[in-house]
Structures are given as structure tokens and as C-alpha cells.
Structure 1
């Protein structure tokens, strides 16, 4: 569905240089800190910025030839035409998109308590986030590109957004989603595939099942660390008790070092160790 091969975009103090692929029928998460390059990558995919090298293919075609009707796009911290009232925005969307589902969109706005006669710039953060997602889902898109769609929302509002994404995927097995976040728990409960980005580079790519099943955090004393086989240790962080060690072969250490403590991996642990470990 999306193939990104060696794209590069350079700014004065930042360079995006990465490759990744998103397969049909999957939800792919892009996890990274604020400023890691997530939004820059989304802008490159949508041809909102010019990349210096590399290629981006969507549905097998160059991204510059993309039919925008096929993509639902939400860019971080933006909302379309904020000076319009929702009722006016609906009329505009109906004119812009070839396959806009007018009646269903109105029903969804009512279901999510969005006021039709209020200007978008007067909406709360949660209302704007829901509106952005509903617009992305309104015109038979096969691909969703969602940049930090849950940023700034409370737990209830975030779960509503995630449920809308899940429903979108359940309706057609050929659809796919690329969603970015710095909130790892959102991606852990939603995604099939995880990429981690830092300073413009992809530093990790695994399926979510692999991350949760095969990765683990070893807690070892300094003495245990001296005897530890480091072949499958990805990152190490010194702690008061000794060392925390991230491994992608926790079963190996369970079988060969039965006395050490091995904690189940979470994306929070993975995120912290990959960025803060050595």
C-alpha cells in the first residue's frame, strides 16, 4: 500500500532519512518523541514538502500522482477551515470529495455531539480531534494517515478515536492505517506493526506481537551482568540495583539464566530503553 524507500529531507538542524512499508489490512504505528520526524514524514507522503532523494509509492504509484480521494489525512494540531461553522463545512466537504457520505457524516457528527451552528475554532480540542477523524472516514478512503490524532485528549476521548479507527479497518480487509503517536499505550492496543523513529531515523521495526512476546527487560545485579551473554542485548541502562537490559530473545535468558528477573515488555519500556539505553 505504501512503500517509502530512502527518502531524505534536510532542514537547518534536522534531517529525515528513512524507509518503511505499510501493508494492506494492517494498522502501522509510528512511535517517536515530539520532534522525532513524524510530522515531517507525513508531509512528505502527502507531497506537502519536497524530498531531496528517495521514492514514495502509494497504491503502486508515485505519491505526486496520488488521488487524494483515496486517502484520509489528519495532520497534527490542525483542523480544516476553522472559521466555518460545521454546517458550512459539511457543504464544502460534499462539494470537494467525489464519494462523500453526507447522511452518514451528519449522523456521526450528531452521535459525537458536534454542534452544527458553532464555528470550528470554538470547538474543544476533543471535538476538533473527532471532527478530523470523521472527515478522514467520510469519503471511502482506503488509506488513513493519522499524525498524532489523540494528542491532548483525555482517556475517554482517545478511546473514542481509536474505536473509530478499529471500525474503519473492520469494514474492509484491504484498508490500512499509518498512525503516529508519542503515547505508546495507544499504539500498543491498536497496531499490528510498530516503527520507532528518533532524530529522523527509524531505529526499530517489529510486529506488535513480536515486541510483546519476544522482547523482555532483564533486571540483573552487577555481578550477574558480568556473567551475562550480551549477544541478544539491544540496550543497557545502569540502575541502582545493577542494570536493566532490553533483549529481543527473552526466552534464551529464561532458559540459560533462571535466577535473573525478566519483566514482560511494554511499548513504554521499549520506548524508554531504546531512547535512553546504551
Structure 2
């Protein structure tokens, strides 16, 4: 669905050099700290900015060569974009029908009823969760949509609202030939939703793994300086100094549990991987 090959973009204080692939039928997460390059990557994929070198392809074509019909197959939710808050959902309907020739009005209205989104109430009177649901609904109710690009769609929402939005995304994927690229700071969302995860830091991809592999095989070894000296470091990916000694990230958790039973081993998580991969050595 999406392929970036050393896509580069330079600003005065930042340079992106990104390579990644989002495959058909998968949900892929792009994680990283603020300023790591997530938004720049999204803008390259959407053709909002152009790379200075490298390749950015969507549906097998360079972004600059996508047809209108192909662009209409992409649903987008950006964290810093939305609708005029003086409009109502009823006001939005003709706009959405004009934007997407195959906009599924009936499905959209059914979803609005399901999620208690009032048709005649101005958007400025909506709660944060209601606005978030509305943005996701407009992205998925295009019958031709094959790809969703979602930048922090669940930011600032409570657990119940987040789960409702994640359920919408799971429903979107049911046909099996669609894909989603999502960014989020909420690791529990990613662990329960995504097939694979990319970590971006200082404009470069530092880590890529299947989510189930990360959760099953990765672990954090918590070792004292004395234990660290005798530790087999062949399967240590990164390490970070702590008050007790070292936190070591490994993708062979079982190996260390079997051969170093005296060492504390914690299950890996998205948050821990992000912390150690970005801040470790």
C-alpha cells in the first residue's frame, strides 16, 4: 500500500531519512517522541510536501502521480485538522458527498446514531470524544476507501471512547484488502490493534517488529553492574543505565530466563521498547 525508500526532507533544524512499508491487509503503527518525524512522514505520504530525494509510493505509484480516483481511496485523520466548528453534521453531509463521489451517507448517518452524534448540534458544542469520532467516521464512510492515514486519532480521549474508535478501525479492516497507518502515544491501543510497529527517532527508523513478536519474545533485563559484567550480551539490542545498574532490551527473553534465572526479566511493551531504543546505547 505504502512504501518509503530513503525519503528525505530537510528543515533548518531537522532532517528526515525514512524507509518503511505498509502492506495490504495490515495495520501499522508509527511511534516516536514529539518532533521525531511522524508528522513529516505523514505529510510526505499524503503529498502535502515533496521529498528532496528517495521514493514515496502509494498503491504502487509515486505520490505525485496518483490519480484523483486513487486519492479518493485514502481516508485521513490529522491531529491538527478538523471541520469548522460553526457547522453541524447536517451541514457537512453535502460537503462530504461532493468530496467523495461514493460517500456512504446511509452508513455515516447510522454510525452517527450509533455513537450519539447529534445531526443538528454545532460541532463547537461537541465533546473532545465526539469530535474524534466524527473525524474517524468521515474517513471510513467512503465506500472506495482502501487506506487510512491516522495521526493520533485517540489522543486525549477516555478509555471507553478510545475503544469505540478502535472498534471502528477493526470493522474497516474486515474486507481484508485494506490498510491503516496510525500514530499514537497510547501503547495499549497499538498492542491490541496493530500488526507491526515502526519506531522513528530523529528522523530515522530505528526499530521495526511484528507486534506479537515484540510482546512474546522481547523483554527487559534488570541487572546489577556485577550481573552485567558476566551477562552474555549477544542478544542485547540496547541498554540504558539505571540507578540499580542497567536495563537491557533483548529479543530473546526466553534464553535469558532459562540461562540466567537470578536476573529479573520483565515482559517487553511498546513503551519500554520506545524508551530504551530511543534513549539507550
Range of TM-score over shorter length:
over 0.9
Q: State the distance in 1 between where 2:85 and 2:10 align.
A: 31
Match of 1:53 in 2: 53
Match of 2:98 in 1: 95
Summarize the Cα distance change of 1:15–1:122 in structure 2 as closer, same or farther, 3 Å threshold.
farther
Residue aligned with 1:17, SS: strand
CA shift for structure 1 position 225: 0.7
After superposition, where does 1:1-278 map in structure 2 within 5 Å? 1-66=1-66, 67-140=70-143, 141-170=145-174, 172-278=175-281
Superimposed CA distance per residue, residues 161-220 of structure 1 (whole angstroms, 9 cap, x where no aligned partner): 1111011112x1111110011222211111001001112111100000111111111111
Normalised by the size of structure 2, how large is the TM-score? 0.94
Q: State the distance in 1 between where 2:254 and 2:10 align.
A: 41
Residue aligned with 1:258, SS: coil
Q: Runs (4+) of structure 1 moved beyond 6 Å?
A: none
Structure 2 regions of 5+ residues with no counterpart?
none
Summarize the Cα distance change of 1:107–1:64 in structure 2 as closer, same or farther, 3 Å threshold.
same
249-258 vs 185-194, which moves further: 249-258
Residue aligned with 1:80, SS: coil
Residue aligned with 2:13, SS: coil
Normalised by the size of structure 1, how large is the TM-score? 0.95
CA shift for structure 1 position 55: 1.2
Superimposed CA distance per residue, residues 131-172 of structure 1 (whole angstroms, 9 cap, x where no aligned partner): 1100000112011110110111111111111111011112x1
CA shift for structure 1 position 75: 0.9
Q: State the distance in 1 between where 2:25 and 2:12 align.
A: 37
Q: State the distance in 2 between where 1:200 and 1:30 align.
A: 12
Q: State the distance in 1 between where 2:44 and 2:85 align.
A: 24
CA shift for structure 1 position 65: 2.8
Structure 1 regions of 5+ residues with no counterpart?
none
Residue aligned with 2:28, SS: strand
